[in-house]
Amino acid sequence: MLDTIDGIIWGPFVLIPLLLGTGIWLTVRLGGVQFTKLAAALHLAFVRRSDGSEEEGDVSHYQSLATALAATVGVGNIAGVATAIHLGGPGALFWMWVSAIFGMAAKYSEAFMGVRFRTIDANGEVSGGPQYYLHKAIPNGFGKFLSIFFCIAAIIASFGIGNLTQSNSVAAAMHDTFGVNHWVVGVVLALMTGIVLLRGLKSIANVTSAIVPFMIVFYVVAGFIVLLINVKGIPDALGLVFTDAFTGTAAVGGFAGAAMAQAIQFGIARGIFSNESGMGSAAIVAAAAKTKHPVRQGLVSMTQTFIDTIIVVSMTGLVILTTGVWREGKTGAALTAQGFSTGLPGNWGGIIVAIALIFFAYSTVLGWAYYGERNVERLLGVRFVVPYRILFSAIVLIGAVSELTVVWTFSDIANGLMALPNLIGLLICSGLIARETKAYLAVDPTLHHAPEVATLDGIDGLPASR
């Protein structure tokens, strides 16, 4: 039953055309902002890092980006890419790139909206995301329905993709590579998670901002070494990616073959699973950023999809293809580990993938815990936040010691159900997003000046933005 539901949601008639269509529409309305402002956005995110401590918000641009990257650069970057290639062939990597390119416009838009309609909660903390802007920006019963729908889906997803699957992957990697008992991993992971969560967003941001640069550089450098060793295979690998994206893949070795439709379906589905563009999740932590204007944080958040998919996912995919292991029938993290093991001497490949998987998965747990608690607060009230944190930490233990069979499919469904109301909301609000974006960039095209107030305050009767 879950497979059937998953096939409908991620099939050719629901999310795939909605995701691509929304991304293309927003790209056109925003004038291709993901191409024209990427360099300026990367500079603001990693060089300047902040608009200043006096701005409204709880964390800096960089900390917001690091927390969002922590939630997205996870098991999907290691296991998800391999699964997409296993099921859809090498062409699936091309469609992951496509989902990322147009997904950057969606990521920008949802982060913009997150800051634009953020609020202060009962604890004095900044809170925002689709659970707020869908209701505020669409001021009728439909907006409220979309908001509640998103809240419920996000809370469910936080326990699935943000918890059970991640802790299970950490426990499996520790057991298979280092021989550590699942229960030991589960207890340690649950305690570490609980300690960080109970101290709130600033603690999460401090931990993720320290972990994320290390884990991404560590993994990308290892992948780059594999590609250097197999440099002669890169042209053939890229040729496979581009040709099979439109023709499908014939059966070779242990690979059963895949049609073009499978490449599109699994490429886009796994791409969104990895970078979360259009899901609305990144808007939740973007709303907490200290920023002078929603456009600035929107552009910073946009770089998250670029780093996640164009850099990290590409590295995984090219390692799998250049080493030729995609033909041998394995899937998931085992296929990625085989690629690194084939490309590197001794046992280093498996160890590197295991270490990366541990860091990727644990950081994802922390990022998704914040996403979940913000939606619990919106739906049930601030008094339920601490119980949620405790329950979330306990579920980490359960995930580590359990055999997960349907949870991955369940997580896919929850991700899709999050994306549906958010994408509909972005389409409805695309006019507002485009007008305020163009007005701001006309004043500050390089993101260096940071005007103190928005140039379009109170447009369409909406509250003024800073």
- pTM assigned to the model: 0.90
Alpha helices, DSSP H only, in 402-466? 407-428, 430-443
Taking the mean position of all CA atoms in its chain, how far away is CA 378?
Answer: 21
20-45 pLDDT, tens digit per residue, is 899 999 999 999 999 999 999 999 88
pLDDT at 464: 39
Chain-wide mean pLDDT for the chain? 87
d(CA 140, CA 86): 44
* Residue 212: other Cβ atoms inside 10 A: 24
Contact of 77 with 360, CB cutoff 8 Å: yes
Predicted confidence band of residue 109 (pLDDT cuts 50, 70, 90): very high
145-158 pLDDT, tens digit per residue, is 999 999 999 999 99
Strands (E), 6-132: 119-120, 126-127
Helix 234-247 vs helix 314-322: angle between axes, to the nearest 10 degrees?
100
Decide if pLDDT at 452 tops 80.
Answer: no
DSSP letters for 279-332: TSHHHHHHTTB--S-HHHHHHHHHHHHIIIIIIIIHHHHHHHHHTTGGGGS--H
Predicted confidence band of residue 450 (pLDDT cuts 50, 70, 90): low
Predicted confidence band of residue 451 (pLDDT cuts 50, 70, 90): low
381-420 pLDDT, tens digit per residue, is 989 999 999 999 999 999 999 877 777 788 888 888 999 9
